[in-house]
A and B are shown apart, each in its own frame.
Chain A
Amino acid sequence: MQVIDFKCPNCGSDMVYDSESGMLSCHSCGRTDDIKLMPDPLKRNVFSEGEATEYHCKSCGAVVITDADTTATSCSFCGSGIVLGDRLTGKLAPALVIPFSISKEEAMRAFRKWCRNGRLTPNGFMTADRVKGITGMYVPFWLYELNNAVEVHAHGTRVSTYTKGDYRYTETQHFDVYRKIRLNYVDVPIDASEKMNDELMDKLEPFPYDQLKSFKTAYLAGYIAEKYNFDEKELFPRAKSKIHPFIEEYIRSTMTQYTTVNYTNKQIDTKLGHAEYALLPVWVVHYDYNKLEYTFAMNGQTGKVVGKPPISKRKVMTWFAGISASCFLSLKLISWMMGGGFW
């Protein structure tokens, strides 16, 4: 039952992770601490499981109201950022983290810009200013290392055509094709949170792995974090299905010299190398429009925005009419330039 908060040693204010400097910083006195050099409070404590799961804010003593999956949040009473330590230890300890590089203000600005640029979103949707509810969330991901042994037997053909006299000849050369391939994938991210839409999370990729840092609780200060709902074994099938098209593409890329390829025997043996538990940064906005809720997510490092916005039928029709009309006009122009007359 451990609650961790980060108090400034100078002035006692709450310190939060600053996405610009990458330091733990105090907004009151401006003190910054390098997270990499700080001892992680988690490692100095040992917790026993099965204790009462009621958390009290260290700053004001209020009961911290959280979701069962939340690992970091802010006190709803005094607003100080707190980390729920026991949900980040043992099997639940993340190995890696990519901190946010996009601040809340930047995220809000980028999201508004994205809304404005939405060519098919209704006008009312763009002007509505509800972006303030944006939350910075560390989403739990498993980063898989997958080792694949691939063996393929195939029948390949090479087709060439030529004409001689009055006949067109089609010459087909048949080949017996065999490939043995070793294909390793590293850090394939699979979102392990039940709350997050898998499709949405897939579109957020890629995350810049050069920003991967070994986990320190201080990165979570000021943000929301979740713990995983599914372990690496439960999500292994999803990881496999995710890389499956890549493997297929790779196999085909080794047989480009053939016009057609028919696989007679294909064996793909995927082994789980290891999986690492990582927290990846995502800005999330929930948005009500026309009684429907839309969820948008932004990659906290690259700024890529994903999510299905509402589509305005009127705008779709306008675009369709505009594009078709200009196409028609340019076709007319082409036919006129070719000497076909304008009408």
Chain B
Amino acid sequence: MRRSGLILSVVFFFFAVFLASPMEMKTAMALTPEGKQLIFDEAGLLKQEEYHELTTLAKQYGAHRETDIIILTTNNDVNGDVMKLTEDFYDEYGPGYDKPHGNAVILTLDMNNREVYLAGFYKAKTYLDDERLDKIRSKITPDLTSGDYALAFQTYMQTVDKYMGYEPGVNPDNPLFNVWVQLGASCIIGGIIVAAMVIRSGGRITINRSTYEDANTSGILDRRDQYIRTTVTKQKIQRQQSSGSGGGGGGTTGGGHSHSGSRGSF
């Protein structure tokens, strides 16, 4: 019994080492200067390969927009407010692409209260105002609700990258900015013009109703416009409701860093 217990404990030990080793690798990677940690999966929502993929993606998009794209998941054992958690994280950890406490966008998932908070600092505050963060949040909320965290995080990064490409103040979802809308509209315009050219190549009719009209002898002999009745229909105006539960906005951290924000539950 004792021998088997020893063997078992040895097996467990190796198993634990095996399990722990990737975690160690992760921390090691996060500490290297060019590979700073961007994903803080304290709630353990991501698989190993998902973590790596998302980190690569975050670095790639972050370099493109000169902004640290950060994800923070927490079980929130102390039951703090998700906005406060985000602000404290920023003050303590001091992320930033350009400098500590620099350009950063943070997605915080509070798994305890099932709340999500998005915050943009400095450049990200200018380019990702409350409205745009709201849009990003409403985009990823369905995936968060259904538990597709990796997919939601990927969408978050892609959308951050996309929205930061638009000047502040414009609506990033304007259909005019959509490549496919632009392509479709151009093809339709081209088609209409060329079709008109083909039709008109044979010459077109250049007479109108007044060409042969004898204006001197033509005219209205008698007219009557009798009012009968008036009918009125009414229709309720659909006011735009803010999507889902949520709202709030930006604020200033304890360390004095002002930020934009969007919070909601999932």
Contact = CB atoms under 8 A, between A and B. Distances in A.
B214 A205 contact: no
Interface residues of B, number: 57
B203 A319 contact: no
A335 B183 CA distance: 13
B220 interface: yes
Given A307-B203, A331-B176, A341-B177, A182 B218 contact: yes
Interface in A169-218: 169-188, 202-206
A335 B176 contact: yes
A168 B226 CA distance: 27
A185 B232 contact: no
Given A175-B225, A304-B206, A324 B186 contact: yes
Contact of B190 (A156, A168, A321, A343): A321
A71 B183 CA distance: 59
Contacts of B176: 331, 334-335, 338, 340
Contacts of B203: 203-204, 304-307
A38 B45 CA distance: 107
Contacts of B230: 171-174
**Among B197, B198, B222: residue with most chain A CB under 10 A:** B197
A332 B219 CA distance: 52
Contact of A166 (B165, B193, B220, B236): B236
A325 interface: yes
B222 A203 contact: no
Interface in B192-233: 193-194, 197-198, 201-209, 211-214, 217-233
Interface stretch (A116-124, A264-272, A277-285): A116-124
Interface in A283-341: 304-309, 311, 316, 319-325, 327-328, 331-332, 334-335, 338-341
Interface residues of A, number: 67
Contacts of B174: 335, 338, 340
B236 A167 contact: yes
A246 interface: yes
A249 interface: yes
A181 B218 CA distance: 7
A249 B187 CA distance: 33
A47 interface: no
Contacts of B236: 166-168
Given A185-B212, A254-B223, A338-B170, A167 B207 contact: no
B6 interface: no
A118 B202 CA distance: 10
B201 A309 contact: yes
Nearest to A327: B186
Contact of A118 (B187, B201, B213, B219): B201
B206 A120 contact: no
Nearest to B221: A180
Given A246-B213, A340-B174, A169 B234 contact: yes
B237 interface: yes
A324 B232 contact: no
A120 B165 contact: no
A243 interface: yes
B201 A184 contact: no
B25 interface: no
A186 B216 CA distance: 11
Contacts of B229: 173-174
Contacts of B217: 182, 184
A175 B228 contact: yes
Contacts of B201: 118-121, 308-309, 311
A343 B178 CA distance: 10
Given A178-B226, A338-B170, 18 more contacts: A167-B235, A168-B234, A170-B233, A172-B232, A172-B233, A174-B231, A176-B228, A177-B224, A181-B219, A182-B221, A304-B206, A323-B189, A331-B176, A331-B182, A338-B167, A339-B169, A340-B165, A340-B166
